[in-house]
């Protein structure tokens, strides 16, 4: 069953310096429970594509369907949680208070909010930190809190825009493993933007390689790795082969010329 469907999506920004072709003829189907990573150099349209799925941008051509709804209707139906590059937590609210905010806006009852906050804090292994303020937590913990916030209203889709890009490699490794565990536990469909080849290969069931000017898909790679992935899987020949395929895809798009 397809959860996200893009058909012939193009998006051109009109700027003072002329048109910028952020997306060109993007066709993609994401099935239920898939973990799809978008990889490509700066400016290839990864963020724009995620924002288009979330109805934060409107395609110039083509169409997007999310859970069989158009992108606007899906946004109103709260079909997904969105995790941004920076945690974006309000410093004057505790971690629980930050997770609670969207739930308050959506009109969840106090009891329901308390239950949901406890459940998502547990999912991201932050139980016991709900009463802390963001500045009392490390960068990795803050990013986990922002994931908890996106999970709290239990949408079955998670859109993640390079959530671990600013973190050091050790923390990132841990969060990658935690995210896979969470994905296995919840069965959510995840769209994930990254610049990192190992991160894309480690996490994904499908890797979408993109290239800039105009932003387009150059290759879609279905992962042959098993769903169960200890971090050591990164040293296996199969992992290295898929990473090589991603690298070739990037080169094909002349991304690093
Ligand atoms: N609101 C906007 N107005 C004009 N141009 C824009 C706008 N948003 C994005 N762009 C341009 O569209 C292109 C795609 O940008 P986008 O941010 O989607 O790329 P990206 O692959 O996510 O890059 P990065 O990896 O640096 O985040 C870029 O050339 C960018 O400058």
**Which CATH number goes with the domain that contains 160?**
3.40.50.300
Domain shared by 129 and 41, yes or no: no
**Count of structural domains, the chain:** 2
On whether residue 28 sits in a domain, the answer given is yes
Task: Output the CA 27–ligand 1 centroid distance in Å.
Answer: 19
- Does residue 124 share a domain with residue 114? yes
Residues of the chain by 3-state class (helix, strand, coil), percent to 5: 40, 25, 35
DSSP 226: -
Statement to judge: residues 168 and 221 lie in one domain: yes
- The preferred substitution site among 20, 164, 193 for testing ligand 1, maximizing ligand atoms within 8 Å of CB, is 20
69 and 160 belong to one structural domain: yes
**pLDDT per residue as tens digits for the range 174-214:** 889 988 988 998 899 999 999 999 999 999 999 999 999 89
129 and 236: one domain? Answer: no
Are residues 62 and 160 located together in one domain of the fold?
A: yes
Per residue of the chain (257 residues), what is the pLDDT tens digit? 789 999 999 999 999 999 999 999 999 999 999 999 999 998 999 999 999 999 999 999 999 999 999 999 999 998 998 988 888 899 999 999 999 999 999 899 999 999 999 999 988 889 999 999 999 999 889 989 999 998 888 888 999 999 888 888 888 888 899 889 889 988 999 999 999 999 999 999 999 999 998 999 999 999 999 988 999 999 999 999 999 999 999 988 764 44
Structural domain range at position 66: 2-79+155-252
This prediction has a pTM of 0.91
Q: How far is CA 193 from CA 16, 40, 74, 147, in A?
A: 28, 9, 20, 14
Give me the interface pTM, i.e. the ipTM.
Answer: 0.96
DSSP class of residue 92 equals: T
Q: Is 159 found in the same domain as 226? A: yes
Q: Are residues 184 and 57 in the same domain?
A: yes
45 Cα nearest atom in ligand 1: 18
**Is residue 257, in this structure, part of any structural domain at all?**
no
143 and 159 housed in the same domain: no
246 and 169 both lie in a single domain: yes
pLDDT tens digits, 1-26: 789 999 999 999 999 999 999 999 99
Residues lining ligand 1, Cβ inside 6 A: 13, 15, 20, 22, 40, 42-48, 215
């Amino acid at each position: 069953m397809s959860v996200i469907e893009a058909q012939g999506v193009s998006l051109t920004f009109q700027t003072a310096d002329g048109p910028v072709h952020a997306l060109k003829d993007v066709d993609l189907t994401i099935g239920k429970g898939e973990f799809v990573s978008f990889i490509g150099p700066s400016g290839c349209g990864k963020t724009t594509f995620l924002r288009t799925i979330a109805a934060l941008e409107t395609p110039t051509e083509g169409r997007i369907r999310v859970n069989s709804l158009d992108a606007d209707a899906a946004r109103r139906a709260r079909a997904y949680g969105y995790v941004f590059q920076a945690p974006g937590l309000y410093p004057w609210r505790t971690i629980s208070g930050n997770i609670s905010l969207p739930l308050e806006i959506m009109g969840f009852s106090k009891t329901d909010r308390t239950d949901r906050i406890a459940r998502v804090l547990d999912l991201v292994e932050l139980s016991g930190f709900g009463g802390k303020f963001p500045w009392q937590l490390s960068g990795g913990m803050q990013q986990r809190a922002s994931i908890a916030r996106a999970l709290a209203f239990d949408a079955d889709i998670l859109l993640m825009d390079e959530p671990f890009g600013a973190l050091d490699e050790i923390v990132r490794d841990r969060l990658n493993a935690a995210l896979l565990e969470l994905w296995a536990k919840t069965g959510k469909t995840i769209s994930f933007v990254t610049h990192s080849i190992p991160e894309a290969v480690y996490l994904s069931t499908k890797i979408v390689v993109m290239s800039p000017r105009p932003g387009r898909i150059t290759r879609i790679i279905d992962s042959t790795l098993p769903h169960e992935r200890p971090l050591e899987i990164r040293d296996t020949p199969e992992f290295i082969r898929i990473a090589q395929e991603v690298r070739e895809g990037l080169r094909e798009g002349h991304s690093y010329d």
